[in-house]
Structure 1
């Protein structure tokens, strides 16, 4: 999947307005939980504009037999993103469907909205993402977050951080543990990213309030990443 996408992306990225990227990371973590069993991962991303403010967003990430996602070899995230600027506010709405090649009955979808405000070189974002009741996740899932970032003056570095909270109903506790291994929990993180032209790299700290055996793939961890866009 990743090799085929890598060969196709350079040609697609030559189209006007199309953004593509390749990123390697020491662990694929989402909302403080490892999706790659703590192993390194590779992601290919693509954004294709449709109309003013509306774009098709997709990404393919190698998971190499993820235990959390039924032995999936990867995850493909595909959907639409709508963005609009209102004064100092940047509003966006998304719809995403997560597909897991190499696994059965693991696919699920979610919708989200983010309201962000710019203050000079700094920004703050308020987000809400909701996955309605689906058998693949054993119920529903609501994620609320606050994130902030600031570009450090006269440097190629950006400092950012976030806090989030995951909650929801559990129709099937075994399946709901996939996204919430300890029930309702909080996650937090801090990142320092370097940008130079088309290249980027960074270090990220990730932590959660999850305890007990479920903390195995959700404990404190420092994650490295590097990549480029074209």
Structure 2
């Protein structure tokens, strides 16, 4: 799962189970920061295989609604070296499952005519010790895309026995403006230590032929902290 999806899911879960949501009349405000060896979005490097710094803020209401913003350094794109996202959604539980629906807008400060938006939805649940999530993101045809785009994905997380580590698995399929039936996948080893979230992942796609080096497989290390 890419970092952005993790942060949106975290905001939705905070909204559902907001035990500490008493700071601002039912709102829980949180922040996050991360350093990663390579910013991968749906398997593709947006930082040209270079280090990136990322962070964001979320406000989740006990009713299930949430809003947030997230940013990352990126390789130069149309005059911009920053991705800035704004999202809003609603998380709720039903039948033992957690649902999340919302919309996200992508901006690239310093560039012109590059912003676009998506709507998304996901469902999560537990089977045995495994945490499973399936989701979809859809970007309608809009001026800055020239075509619509659909991305479907599945994630699974498993604790590794009594150890402090967990195994993460991800696979996604993208078709439209950003991919031609492109498949991306990742395998990660995750843990927490001294209040930090640590991850080492192998990330790859099948799109190297037409996207080049940014779609090649590679190891990604990430260290983050939530506040």
TM-score normalised by the shorter chain: which range applies? 0.7 to 0.9
In structure 2, the partner of 1:32 is: 43
Separation in 2, partners of 1:134, 1:35? 21
In structure 2, do the counterparts of structure 1 residues 82 and 193 end up closer, same or farther at CA, with 3 Å as the change threshold?
A: same
Q: Which of the residues 192, 209, 212 maps onto 1:215? A: 212
1:154 counterpart SS class: coil
Q: Which of the residues 31, 34, 39 maps onto 1:20? A: 31
- Number of aligned pairs? 203
Separation in 1, partners of 2:183, 2:204? 9
Separation in 2, partners of 1:53, 1:118? 20
Separation in 2, partners of 1:71, 1:159? 38
1:139 counterpart SS class: coil
Separation in 1, partners of 2:133, 2:191? 20
Please state if 1:142 is matched with 2:150. Answer: yes
Map 1:1-230; keep pairs closer than 5 Å. Answer: 17-63=28-74, 65-66=75-76, 69-168=77-176, 176=177, 179-180=178-179, 183-196=180-193, 198-230=195-227
* Contact in 1 for aligned 2:208/2:214 (Cα 8 Å): no
Separation in 2, partners of 1:197, 1:77? 29
Q: CA RMSD in A?
A: 1.7
Question: TM-score w.r.t. structure 1 length?
Answer: 0.82
Greater than 2 Å deviation, 4+ residue runs: 151-156
Separation in 2, partners of 1:202, 1:116? 21
Question: TM-score w.r.t. structure 2 length?
Answer: 0.83
Q: Deviations over 1:60-82 (max 9, x none)?
A: 1112x42xx32321011111121
In structure 2, do the counterparts of structure 1 residues 59 and 208 end up closer, same or farther at CA, with 3 Å as the change threshold?
A: same
* Contact in 2 for aligned 1:57/1:81 (Cα 8 Å): no
Separation in 2, partners of 1:112, 1:105? 22
